[in-house]
Amino acid sequence: MSRRRDAGDYPTPPGIAGVLATEALRELTPDAAGGVLRILDPACGEGNLLLAAAACHSAHHGAELIGVEMDPGRAVRARHALADASRGGATIVCSDALLRPHPLRDGTFDVVIANPPFLSPTSRRGAIPATTRAQLRARLGPGVAALTNIATIFLLDSLRLVRPGGRVGMILPSSFLTSRDATGARAQVLAEGTLEWLWTDGEGVFDAAVTVCGVVITRAGRPHTTIRRSAGRHAAATGTAVFRPAAHAAGEPWRDGVHRTAPSSAGIIGDLTTPIAGFRRHYYAVTAALSDAPSGPGMRVVTAGLIDPGRVLWGTIPARLSHRRWEHPRVDTDTLRSAGRVSAWLDAVTGPKAMLATQTRVLECAVDPLGDLVPSVPVIALPASADRAWLIAAALCSPHLSRLAFDRHRGAALSPDAIKLSASEAADLPIPPRTAPWELAAVALADAAAAPDATGWRDALLRMAHHMDDAYGAPGAADTHTWWAERLPRFKTGNAGAPPG
Ligand SMILES: C[S@@+](CC[C@H](N)C(=O)[O-])C[C@H]1O[C@@H](n2cnc3c(N)ncnc32)[C@H](O)[C@@H]1O
């Protein structure tokens, strides 16, 4: 292992430093009238982050730059680098910042910006003597636990160093977002501040072995549920995301999935329809009234297996229901209604609708424009006029919502690789603004539904996916797109004989 890696020591690339500084300083003005911003980097290395802060700030105001660096050689180089950086002046202190050398005092900085060392307490260099850890815990609270990474300790300490309304912008190992050892620290951060911005690297910007993230937190900020997101090796802005402080404070990981939320969401699926998932009794009532007939009276029954993205496969492939194979499952509605306690459900799911399968590798939604199909439990029915049903289905079939649902509800399905949604979870998924790309996506999905072969179907789905990316305004969605395309089911061809009646 190289010395640099052993020291948990990865200098911040200039591009990332610039984005972090911009986000930390965004719209921040000095606390006192006529003052300059006091900006601290408690692990400043050769001064990269302070230089970035000075560069993005100097156009507006002066700033006083303070750096702390333990390594004497780097401290000297930082002094040189920063000599002329800011008209507010620069001070570099060669010391251990966690020992709080002068001038590090609580509440006296407007901004702390840092890329602290990433050292696990189980590593030789990361081990903090028990007495020091106890002192840090006494000063910083229960977020400092036996296995807390040094980077997390810098974060907790920095939140104390800034004034209320001041900001901490920090690069951290991405394990901070999810690891159980950091649960207490994450809760403490949300008790003391508000998350404003989150960057997830995901590409090994610093080193293939370490993935990192970046956070900006306002001390004692007003809690809110929308954060700004950046992703990838250049920390490109990807829009906003929903962040639920209460759930996250209660221990839910600040998981990667937050960045998948629609950059330009204009509401939720539940604004367009009320999704309906039947219950066990509906399933049994339907299976008790089934017959197998290509044509004739009775409504066609659609199982999850008979739905592929855009396509209803009734009559094309057989269904499995009640431990049996049915080539053309139909239900006699009079018998069904006589079963009692299912009429209201039958009325609600009869009529034009979108239908969403569950336990699938991507969200698979198709449309029943004429309204004469009965969804078998657990298919979710989304009643809406035919035009609207195609829009709903296009949104649900988008790579973006598959990824979002996969991230949000990972682990709920029988298979860890499948997506399982309840009706209310489907209702909670975001929709894009009603724009031309969304309409084009709906048309492309209808093309997929009518496609006679695998090529036509897949081409139409890919067109639908691109239009939906445009509709959601999801820049940098290429990885999601590839993930989704690889998970699409194969095109199924007929073996069940006669066309639907
Ligand atoms: C990952 S480097 C970051 C340097 C710089 N901020 C940047 O982004 O390029 C971390 C720096 O923190 C210094 N350091 C580690 N522990 C420290 C401590 N307890 N107090 C002050 N500096 C420390 C290391 O010597 C190293 O130069």
In a domain, 75, yes or no: yes
> Using a 6 Å cutoff on CB, does residue 96 contact ligand 1?
yes
Ligand 1 mean position, distance from CA 235 (Å) = 21
Question: Which pTM was predicted?
Answer: 0.58
**In angstroms, rounded to a whole number, what is the distance separating the alpha carbons of residues 496 and 328?**
8
Note the pLDDT of residue 240.
74
The Cα–Cα gap between 25 and 53 comes to 8
Note whether 253 and 274 are same-domain residues: no
Name the more confident of 455 and 33.
455
The per-residue pLDDT for range 144-201, each reduced to its tens digit, is: 988 888 999 999 999 999 999 999 999 998 888 878 888 899 999 999 999 999 988 7
Q: Nearest C-alpha to atom 8 of ligand 1 is from which residue?
A: 12
Specify whether 288 is located in the same domain as 254.
no
Write out the residue range of the structural domain in which residue 356 sits. Answer: 269-487
Residues 226 and 277 in one domain: no
Q: Which of 2, 4, 9 to mutate to test the pocket of ligand 1 (most atoms within 8 A of CB)?
A: 9
Residue 196 lies in a domain: yes
Residue 212, amino acid: V
- Does 251 lie in the same domain as 274? no
Which pLDDT tens digit goes with each residue over 376-404? 989 999 999 999 999 999 999 999 899 88
Q: Mean pLDDT across the stretch 446-471?
A: 94
pLDDT of residue 145: 87
Asked whether 186 lines ligand 1 (CB < 6 A), one says no
Residue 420, Cβ density class (10 Å: 0-12 exposed, 13-18 middle, ≥19 buried):
middle
CA–CA separation, 241 and 257 (whole Å): 9
Kindly tell me if the per-residue pLDDT of 476 is higher than 80.
no
Q: Show which of 260, 280, 302 is a domain's final residue.
A: 260
Q: What is the 3-state secondary structure (H, E, C) of 236-263?
A: EEEEEEECCHHHHHCCCCCCHHHHHCCC
Q: Is there a single domain that holds both residue 191 and residue 306?
A: no
At residue 335, φ and ψ (nearest 5 deg) are -60, -40
Are 248 and 322 in a shared domain? no
- Taking the centre of ligand 1 as the mean of its atom positions, its distance from the CA of residue 189, in whole angstroms, is 21
Q: Is residue 10 within 6 Å of ligand 1 at its C-beta?
A: yes
In whole angstroms, what is the distance from residue 255 CA to residue 248 CA?
9
Span from the CA of 236 to the centroid of ligand 1 (angstroms): 25
Highest-scoring range by mean pLDDT, 100-109, 464-473, 485-494? 100-109
Q: Are 38 and 159 within one domain?
A: yes
Residue 242 shares a structural domain with residue 302: no
| Within a domain: 126 | yes
Give CA–CA dist 63/71, Å, rounded.
24
Cβ within 8 Å of residue 180, ≥6 positions away: none
Q: What's the CATH number where 193 sits?
A: 3.40.50.150
- CA 211 to ligand 1 centroid distance, Å: 18
Residues 14 and 150 in one domain: yes
362 lines ligand 1 (CB under 6 A): no
Residues 198 and 318 in one domain: no
Answer positive or negative: Cα dihedral of 57, 58, 63, 67.
positive
φ/ψ region of 48 (left if φ > 0, alpha if ψ in -120 to 50, else beta) reads alpha
498 domain-assigned: no
Give the Å distance between the CA of 67 and the centre of ligand 1.
10
Rounded to the nearest 10 degrees, what angle do helices 386-397 and 454-472 cross at?
Answer: 90
Report the number of distinct structural domains present in the chain: 2
Find the 118 Cα to ligand 1 centroid distance in Å.
Answer: 9
Residue 160 lies in a domain: yes
Looking at the structure, tell me whether residues 174 and 40 fall in a common domain. Answer: yes
Q: Is residue 336 part of a domain?
A: yes
261 lines ligand 1 (CB under 6 A): no
Are 291 and 384 in a shared domain? yes
Kindly state the tokens that stand for 478: 């290429």
Q: Using a 6 Å cutoff on CB, does residue 48 contact ligand 1?
A: yes
CA 74 to ligand 1 centroid distance, Å: 9
Last residue of a domain, one of 232, 260, 288: 260
- Strands 162-173 and 109-114 come out as parallel
**In-domain check, residue 222:** yes
- Asked, as a colleague might, if the bond just before 499 is cis with ω within 30 of 0, I would say no
User: Which ligand 1 atom sits closest to the C-alpha of 9?
Assistant: 1
Q: Look at residue 170 and tell me if it is in a domain.
A: yes
Q: What is the 3-state secondary structure (H, E, C) of 315-376?
A: CCECEEECCEEECCEEECHHHHHHCCCCHHHHHHHCCCEEEECCCECCCCEEEECCCCEEEC
User: Of 238, 260, 282, at which residue does a domain stop?
Assistant: 260
| 307: pLDDT strictly greater than 60 | yes
CA distance 287 to 302: 12
